[in-house]
Structures are given as C-alpha cells and as structure tokens.
Amino acid sequence: MVSKGPLLRLLTAINRRRMKLLMGLAFVAYVASVWGNFVNMRSLQENGDQKVESRIEEAVAPLREKIKDLEKSFTQKYPPVKFLSEKDRKRILITGGAGFVGSHLTDKLMMDGHEVTVVDNFFTGRKRNVEHWIGHENFELINHDVVEPLYIEGLAKRVGARLLLASTSEVYGDPEVHPQNEDYWGHVNPIGPRACYDEGKRVAETMCYAYMKQEGVEVRVARIFNTFGPRMHMNDGRVVSNFILQALQGEPLTVYGPGTQTRAFQYVSDLVNGLVALMNSNVSSPVNLGNPEEHTILEFAQLIKKLVGSGSEIQFLSEAQDDPQKRKPDIRKAKLLLGWEPVVPLEEGLNKAIHYFRKELEYQANNQYIPKPKPARMKKGRTRHN
C-alpha cells in the first residue's frame, strides 16, 4: 500500500507544471490576440490614411492648379530688352520719368538695354505709365518730390555724366521770327500770365550753360515743340487732349480766339527718338525738336472731329492773353547734326491718341469718374492752345 503523502506531493508538482504551461499558453494566446488586433488596426489605419490622403489630394489638386495660374499671372512679362555689355550699358536717371514724355523715354532706354532710374512725385505722372517695368533688374522707381533737391547737376559732375534738359518752344514766346530757329532769342512778356513757365524754362537753360562753363559738365538742351500721344494726362489743358476729350464726349470743341493761331504737332515716339539722338550726340547748343508741318487751331479741331466721328460743334471763346499766334520749328539743325526728323504722320498719331483716350474714358466710366476738359488758364501756366 502506497502512502498518501508522496502521492499528494507528486500530484501537486504535476498540477503546478500544468498551471505554468496553461498560463504560458494563455499568455502566448493573449500576445497573439493583441498582435492580431494591432495588425488589423494598423491595416485599417493605413487604409484610412490612404483614403484621407486621397480625398485631400482630390481637394487640393484644383487649388494647386489655381495657384499655378496665379503665379503665371503675377509673373511679370516685360517688353523685349536688348542685351548690352557692361561697357555699352548706361545708367540713366530720368526726373519726371513717370509722366507723359518721361515714361515713353523710359520705355525706349529700357528696351535699348540701359539701366534706368525714374524719379517722380506722381503729381501729374502715374505709376501706370511705368508699372510694366517694375521688378526688372535694370529698372528702379523712386517716389520723390524735388522740393527736397536732388542736386542732379552736382551728381553729373561727380560721376562725369551728361545732363539733358527738356526745354520748350515757349522760350520763343510769341515769336516775331517764323519759323523759329535756335538762334532766335524770343519775344516773351516777363510779367504776363505765361511768364512763370516761359521764363522758368529760359532761366533753366541759362543755369545749365553757366554750370557747363563753370564746372565742365556736358549739357544737352532740347527745345520741344507741341507733342501728343498716349499717356497724356486727361486734364492737362493741352489743345490735343481737350479737343479729343470734347469730341469723344460730344461736347463743343472750344477754340480760343478766331482759330487762326498755328501750331506744329509731333507724335511722342518721334520726340523720344530725337531726345535719344541728342543725348548721344556731341551737340552742346540748343536743338529744336518738333514737326514743321503747320496747322491752324481751327483746322486741327476739324480734323479731330472727323477722326473721332463726332457731331460736336466748334465754339469760339475769347482769346487768351499772350497766346502765341504762330509756332513752327526750324529743324534744319536736327536734320544736319542728329540725322533726325519726325516720321509719324499726323493722322496716324492722332488715331493712336484717340484710341488711348477712348480706352481711358471707358476705364474711368467704370470707376464712376468722367474727366472734364479744363478751361484755358488765364493767370498762370499754359493755355489749352499750348
């Protein structure tokens, strides 16, 4: 007969081993279960992430395309610019370079490959005139008012630059010589309503030549006759802008005096070519830049009426004081020394100007502003026949 004590001990040892085995198996099963759940969850998460990423991509794709389109639209496309080597490329400062003539000169010099810095206070000039160059590596725009002087004559002396003065045919006043050549000293009323402008330009020429003699700075002087074209200010009171504006709006074309006063009108691109030719020349004395094709103010009003197709009447008002009776440039000097003369026919230039003014009127009508022609200025500045 076997004793119960050893048997019990044997059974207890076996049970312990079973329990350990069972516990081990249970732990393995638990780990396997957890791992299976983890794998399933990971798979579900990955599938969910893929779905989310797919949906995000579907939503973002059109936005990405729109961003590309915006980037393309904001990428500045500049007019074609000629490449110039360092030795041929000039650095040019243009005061008033955002104005009518200045902006066209800026275009010409930029496209020729030069570096241009424009200084303007935008009183009559506009950023719109030069905005197509903003951001170009050769272009710089400075908002500055010359009430705080720039001393460009001193700058020209320091860097050895050439100074070009944009003078005017107004230095001849109401001329007693016709046509006007550069040797004519003029006939100006020094205390009349036009004196500030006329005498201001005359003294500007005087100071430039005095500085040239004193400091040795190279000076070029262009005496500019009546010029017209796109980018003229709508309300500048000039005869071209007034007549076109009045004709387009169906208002009377206002002629001051009998309309027998004569003027000679040149298109702005002709003037710019003349300015560049003068700037690059060795001609240090004043040079007339204008179109010798002479027209009466009345003829000019009738021509604009015809080109616009306007039914406006012509209204005659009292003549402005000191309004020049005749104005026609003698350009033999420019032809001989610069090889320059105007080439744009009057009607061709007027059609371009009319197109520009028509677009401006449409633009300003959309912005609820309709410009009105200015009356002739009787006490200061230029009359509309200027």
- What pLDDT does residue 369 have? 55
Query: pTM (2 decimals)?
Result: 0.76
For the segment 118-155, what is each residue's pLDDT rounded down to a tens digit? Answer: 999 999 899 999 999 999 999 999 999 988 999 999 99
- What pLDDT does residue 33 have? 63
- What pLDDT does residue 322 have? 82
| Residue 378 scores a pLDDT above 70 | no
Which residues have CB under 8 Å from 305's CB, separation 6+?
A: 247, 253, 312, 314
By DSSP bridging, strand 266-267 and strand 227-228 are parallel
| Residue 179 scores a pLDDT above 60 | yes
| Residue 380 scores a pLDDT above 80 | no
The predicted model gives 309-334 an average pLDDT of 92
Q: Which of these, 69, 115, 65, lies nearest to 93 by C-alpha position?
A: 115
Cis peptide before 79 (omega within 30 of 0): no
What are the residue boundaries of the structural domains of the chain, listed by start? 155-367
At 74, the pLDDT band (50, 70, 90 cuts) reads low
Q: What is the DSSP letter of 180?
A: B
The predicted model gives 228-251 an average pLDDT of 91
Phi-psi region of 74 (alpha: psi -120 to 50; beta: other; left: phi over 0): alpha
- Return mean pLDDT, the chain: 85
Contact (CB, 8 A) for 108 and 276: yes
Write out the H or E segment, with its range, that includes residue 166.
strand 162-168
**How much of the chain exceeds pLDDT 70, in percent?**
78
- What pLDDT does residue 148 have? 92
Q: How far is CA 232 from CA 28, 129, 186, 352, 376, in A?
A: 91, 10, 27, 12, 17
Distance (Å, rounded) from C-alpha 102 to C-alpha 80? 19
For the segment 12-56, what is each residue's pLDDT rounded down to a tens digit? Answer: 555 566 566 666 666 656 655 655 665 565 565 556 656 666 777
| Residue 358 scores a pLDDT above 80 | yes
**Cα torsion angle, 102, 108, 109, 113, sign:** positive
Tokens of 133: 């160059």
CATH architecture of 155-367: 3-Layer(aba) Sandwich (3.40)
Q: What share of the chain is helix, strand, coil (3-state, %, to 5)?
A: 50, 15, 40
Q: Which comes out higher in pLDDT, residue 17 or 115?
A: 115
The predicted model gives 290-307 an average pLDDT of 96
At 71, the pLDDT band (50, 70, 90 cuts) reads low
The predicted model gives 204-216 an average pLDDT of 96
Taking the alpha carbons at both ends of the chain, their separation in whole angstroms is 146
| Residue 374 scores a pLDDT above 60 | no
Distance (Å, rounded) from C-alpha 147 to C-alpha 325? 34
The predicted model gives 182-194 an average pLDDT of 92
- What pLDDT does residue 11 have? 44
Rounded to a whole number of angstroms, the CA Rg of the chain reads 40
- What pLDDT does residue 272 have? 98
- What pLDDT does residue 51 have? 65
Three-state SS letters, 258-324? CCCCEEECEEHHHHHHHHHHHHCCCCCCCEEECCCCEEEHHHHHHHHHHHHCCCCCEEEECCCCCCC
| Residue 384 scores a pLDDT above 50 | no
| Residue 221 scores a pLDDT above 80 | yes
Q: Which of these, 182, 196, 78, lies nearest to 130 by C-alpha position?
A: 78
Helix/strand/coil for 156: helix
At 233, the pLDDT band (50, 70, 90 cuts) reads confident
| Residue 158 scores a pLDDT above 70 | yes
- What pLDDT does residue 366 have? 77
- What pLDDT does residue 10 have? 44
Q: Which comes out higher in pLDDT, residue 27 or 329?
A: 329
At 2, the pLDDT band (50, 70, 90 cuts) reads very low
- What pLDDT does residue 186 have? 93
The predicted model gives 325-349 an average pLDDT of 97
- What pLDDT does residue 371 have? 56
Q: How far is CA 352 from CA 251, 267, 312, 349, 374, in A?
A: 21, 10, 20, 5, 22
- What pLDDT does residue 132 have? 95
Catalytic residues: 197
- What pLDDT does residue 17 have? 61
Specify the residue for token string 């001609």.
283
- What pLDDT does residue 30 have? 62
Burial of 368 (0-12, 13-18, 19+ CB in 10 A): exposed
The predicted model gives 280-295 an average pLDDT of 97
- What pLDDT does residue 143 have? 96
- What pLDDT does residue 324 have? 87
